[in-house]
Amino acid sequence: MRNSLRWTLIGWFGAILALAVAAFGSVLYLQVSESGLRSVEVSLAERAQALAAALEYDARDGWELELSEDYLRGLTQRCSFRIVTPAGEVIAQGGGAQWSGAMDTPSATTGEPASGVHGDSYHFTLVGPGKLRVVLRSSIEPQQQALAELRLQLLLVGVAILAGALLGGLWLARRVLRPIAGATRAAAAIDASDLSKRLDVAAMPLELRELGTTFNGTLDRLEEAFGRLTRFTADASHELRTPLAVLRTEVELALRRNREPDEYREALRTGLRAVARMTELVDGLMVLAKADAGSADIERTRVELGAAATEAVEALGARARAQSIEIHSEGNAVQVRGDRALLREAIENLLSNAVRYNEPGGRVDVAVRSEGGQALVSVRDDGPGIPADSLDRLFDRFYRVDEARSRAQGGSGLGLSIVRWIAEAHGGTVDVASSPGEGSTFTLRLPLVDGAS
Amino acid sequence: MRLLIVEDEVDLAHALARAVREEGFVCDVAHEGEEGLWLARELDYDLILLDLMLPGIDGLSLLRRLRAERPTPVIVLTARGSLSSKVELLDAGADDYVTKPFALEELLSRARSLLRRAARQPAPVLSIGPVELDTVGRQVHLGGEPIELTAMEYALVEFLALHRGEVISRARLYEHLYDEREETSSNVVEVFVSNVRRKLGRDFISTRRGHGYLVDA
């Protein structure tokens, strides 16, 4: 709940609304109470003026209030008055309400009683002729009662408004958030078994479309990666099935009855060939699986490419001789930074292909040099070459130019994809140029070690 | 029974050839699509074991082109285990399939079953008068007594029995009992026929002069 969008929304909405209602109520209340007092004050001031005007000085009797009783009664309806000399002597008093208690009596000793609210009454003082003070007092109980009522009403209305608004907000929040819930349901319905589903972005509110598009984009990438993985697994299992079929058939056949030792030997040899092929395949798969997981630990040491190439040529020597293929190598001292074993494997794979798909009596040239700030390893053969329409897919996993012929010649179908991965992992590239009938040249390009050239 | 094995994986093709020969069949082997299609069109094979991944014409195209001309039973050897590829195979005209790596005994059993069905003789044991032919155990009984037959004699009896009621020419019998490796004359068939008659009775195989041999329905 602490992290809920809906409750956050309603919480802020409620707080702001409560503040607004409170401010509005307070202003209204203050206005009403102010204007109530004002009208009391105005009416008391008028009466005080009238009383002051009615004061007359008589040398014998001193100050007297020359007013008829009726008029006086009318003047002081709902209020009482007192006229006090500067010495504190009360020369006249009266009114609808009697003074109650001495504390309300303004005394000369305590100075001018301020006009204003005293308890539940309002006092107004006017200094009249002869420094006589005309003090009027009016009860403001009715106003205070009205104000108390107003307070209650404001409170009730405020609470009602707040409650209504919160309920409305709740409904509104749910309504606004409904597309999110819908998108969540739609997203939840998408699982690994069917990654082709997408959120209907066009039907989403504007604000959610970006999220929906991003989500769909993630799904696209996920589907592609998943598809690649599924294809790779299917291809891998397909590739393993053939040597497994050889092994199984050969072993089951051998076990059907008692045979001559030579027959068993032949069966075991065939089985061993199948096992060797599966081993090569599994080795390649392991390298690529590591590459896919991004967990391949690539060392970064100075590698002398010429020496790595020489080692690769030596490793392939026996096979080349068996197929009467000559390997010529020409090496310059070129240094790159990287994993020596992987770089050697890349060169070995290129060489192995050049030997495997060459004709007997063919020739393979390996050259290591630096050019334009890059280290280059090129492996050229004078074999049958590669058809142009196959060049694009040549580095794909399990891609073979001639599916069955190449399989019969051995090879896992992974060699070139491994070379490409090794090249890319070292910040380099591998490419091929080939013309059918004349041979192919594979070129591995890697960044040179800093400062070396 | 003469089989054709079309499989580019040389080791697998040879192992299969040895296995079916041990089973009393004769067989030819092709390692490429074109060669396989040519043989399958030229000769009247009883059954074809067909790999899918072939150089030249691939197995599926081979199957489609063969089906336009011949009803020869075909078992496909596939390395793809997916449902869609199996459906595609059967819809292209394959009679059956096994997924690599298959069990040899299962393949042979499916082959025998398919041969019986192709001859419209689905029962594994055939009874022809007093003669009983067990196509699974490859044994023949006459009046309840087991009869010793050579592999060639058995193959002759089995072919005629599966095509009972049908007159089979000497040339056709020869074609189904020998593969390309053999360099004998079709006259050898007469020798086997007379051997079988000696063991199972004169009336088991009748001769239609100028046409061929017949085992009565």
Taking 60 as the threshold, does the pLDDT of residue A104 lie above it?
no
The DSSP letter of residue A448 is B
What pLDDT score was predicted for residue A406? Answer: 54
Q: What integer is the mean pLDDT of A236-249?
A: 89
pLDDT of residue A70: 77
The verdict on B44 touching A (C-beta cutoff 8 Å) is no
Going by C-alpha positions, the residue among A73, A118, A124 that lies closest to residue A100 is A118
CATH 3.40.50.2300 fits B2-118, yes or no: yes
Q: How many CB atoms lie within 10 A of CB A433?
A: 14
Angle among Cα A127, A129, A130 to the nearest 5 degrees reads: 100
pLDDT of residue B113: 93
- A268: pLDDT strictly greater than 90: yes
Quick one: average pLDDT of B87-101? 92
Q: Which among A237, A244, A270 has the least Cβ separation from residue B15? A: A270
Right CATH number for A299-447 from 3.30.565.10, 1.10.3720.10, 3.10.20.740, 3.30.465.10?
Answer: 3.30.565.10
Q: CA-to-CA distance for B73 and A7, rounded, in angstroms?
A: 72
Structure-block tokens of residue B194: 């007379």
- Asked whether the beta carbons of residue B19 and residue A242 sit closer than 8 angstroms, the reply is no
Q: Look at residue A1 and tell me whether its pLDDT is greater than 60.
A: no
pLDDT confidence of A110, banded at 50, 70, 90? very low
SS3 state at B78: strand
Mean pLDDT of chain A: 83
- What's the pLDDT score for residue B159? 92
Residue at A1: amino acid letter: M
B125-214 CATH = 1.10.10.10
Helix or strand (DSSP H, E) at A369:
strand A363-371
A67 pLDDT more than 80? no
Which of A237, A245, A402 is opposite residue B12, by nearest beta carbon? A245
Q: Which of A107-116, A222-231, A269-278, A281-290 has the lowest mean pLDDT?
A: A107-116
Sign of the four-CA dihedral A85, A90, A94, A97 = positive
User: What amino acid occupies position A53?
Assistant: A
How crowded is residue B25: how many other Cβ atoms within 10 Å of its Cβ? 24
* Contact predicate B66/B37, CB 8 Å: yes
Domain with CATH 3.40.50.2300 in chain B: 2-118
Both tokens assigned to B151: 């592999």
For residue B52, what is the DSSP state? S
Rg (CA), chain A: 52
Mutate one of B77, B100, B109 to test the A interface: name it (highest A CB count within 10 A): B100
Minimum Cα–Cα distance from B79: chain A residue: A238
Question: Tokens 């597309």 map to which residue?
Answer: A179
Can you give the pLDDT at residue A102? Answer: 42
Residue A114 has pLDDT above 70, yes or no: no
Q: What digits encode the pLDDT tens for the residues A23-51?
A: 999 999 999 988 988 888 898 888 888 88
Chain A positions touching B32 (Cβ under 8 A) are 404
Q: What's the confidence (pLDDT) of residue A453?
A: 44
Yes or no: say if A349 and A417 are a contact pair by the CB < 8 Å rule: no
Strand partners, B98: B77
Handedness of CA A6, A7, A12, A14 (dihedral sign): positive
CB contact set of A421 (below 8 Å; sequence gap of 6+): A287, A288, A291
Query: Is pLDDT of A199 > 90?
Result: no
- Domain limits, chain A: 5-145, 206-291, 299-447
Instruction: For residue B102, list chain A residues with Cβ-Cβ distance below 8 A.
Output: 245, 248-249
Nearest Cα of chain B lies from the Cα of A193 at a distance, in angstroms, of 15
Other C-beta atoms within 10 Å of A195: how many? 16
SS3 content of chain B, % helix, strand, coil (to 5): 40, 20, 40
How far, in Å, CA of A366 to CA of A308, rounded? 12
Tell me the sheet residues that pair with B134: B125, B139
Looking at residue A408, what is its pLDDT? 55
Q: Which residues pair with B3 in a beta bridge?
A: B27, B47
Considering chain A, what percentage of its residues have pLDDT values greater than 70?
A: 91
| Distance between CA atoms of residues A453 and B60, nearest Å | 55
For the ranges A108-117, A153-162, A272-281, the lowest mean pLDDT is seen at A108-117
A4-8, B88-92, B106-110, B159-163: least confident range: A4-8
pLDDT tens per residue across span A206-226: 888 888 888 889 888 888 888
Report pTM.
0.64
Task: Determine the pLDDT at residue A410.
Answer: 63
Whole-number pLDDT of residue A373? 85
Interchain pair B9, A407: CB under 8 A: yes
Q: Determine the Cα–Cα distance for residues B95 and B61; give it in Å rounded to an integer.
A: 15
Rounded distance, CA A419 to CA A343, Å? 9
Q: Is A199 helix (H, G, I), strand (E, B) or coil?
A: coil
Out of A7-11, A165-169, B153-157, B182-186, which region has the weakest mean confidence (pLDDT)? B182-186
**Number of CB pairs, chain A paired with chain B, less than 8 A apart:** 77
- The single-letter code of the amino acid at B209 is R
Which residues are bridge partners to A448 per DSSP? A336
Is pLDDT at A106 greater than 70 in this prediction? no
Helix (H, G, I), strand (E, B), or coil: what is residue B97?
strand
Of A248, A273, A402, the CB nearest to B101: A248
Burial of B183 (0-12, 13-18, 19+ CB in 10 A): exposed
For residue B4, the surrounding DSSP H or E stretch is strand B2-6
Distances from the Cα of B131 to the Cα of A102, B127, B154, angstroms: 148, 6, 13
Average pLDDT score over residue span A93-98: 67
DSSP structure string for A40-80: HHHHHHHHHHHHHHTEEEETTTEEEE---HHHHHHHTTTEE
Query: What's the mean pLDDT when you consider all of chain B?
Result: 89
Higher pLDDT, A398 or A318: A318
Q: Scanning the structure block, which residue is given the tokens 């890059």?
A: A374
Q: How far apart (Å, rounded) are the C-alpha atoms in residues B25 and B46?
A: 10
- B21 Cβ under 8 Å from any chain A Cβ: no
DSSP state of A100: -
* B41 vs A237, more confident: B41
pLDDT, tens only, A351-393: 988 988 888 888 999 999 988 889 999 999 988 888 888 888 8
**Cα-flanking dihedrals φ and ψ of residue A95, to 5°?**
120, 170
Note the Cα B165 to chain centre separation in Å. 19
Quote the CA–CA distance of B199 and B201 in Å, as a whole number. 6
Q: What is the pLDDT of residues B137-171, one digit of tens each?
A: 889 999 889 999 988 899 999 999 999 888 999 88
User: In chain B, which among 75-114 make CB contacts under 8 A with chain A?
Assistant: 77, 79-82, 99-105
Matching residue, tokens 């192992």: B15
* pLDDT, mean of residues B170-184: 83
Do the Cβ atoms of A430 and A444 come closer than 8 Å? Answer: yes
Predicted confidence band of residue A297 (pLDDT cuts 50, 70, 90): low
Are A187 and A212 in contact, with CB atoms under 8 Å apart?
A: no
Is the CB of A242 less than 8 angstroms away from the CB of B79? yes
Q: Is A428 left (phi over 0), alpha (psi -120 to 50) or beta?
A: beta
The rounded percent of chain A whose pLDDT value lies above 90 is 21
pLDDT band at A234; cut points 50, 70, 90: confident
pLDDT in tens, B112-146: 999 999 988 888 898 888 899 998 888 999 988 99
Give the least confident one: A28-32, A74-78, A111-115, B97-101.
A111-115
Minimum distance, in Å, between the CA of residue A381 and any CA atom of chain B: 23
DSSP string across A303-360? EEHHHHHHHHHHHHHHHHHHTT-EEEEEE---EEEE-HHHHHHHHHHHHHHHHHTSPT
pLDDT(A452) > 50: no
CA B119 to chain centre: 10
Does domain A206-291 fall under CATH 1.25.10.10? My reply is: no
pLDDT band at B37 (very low <50, low <70, confident <90, very high): very high
Q: Write out chain B residues lying below 8 Å of A237, CB-based.
A: 81
CB-nearest partner of A403 from B53, B80, B82: B53
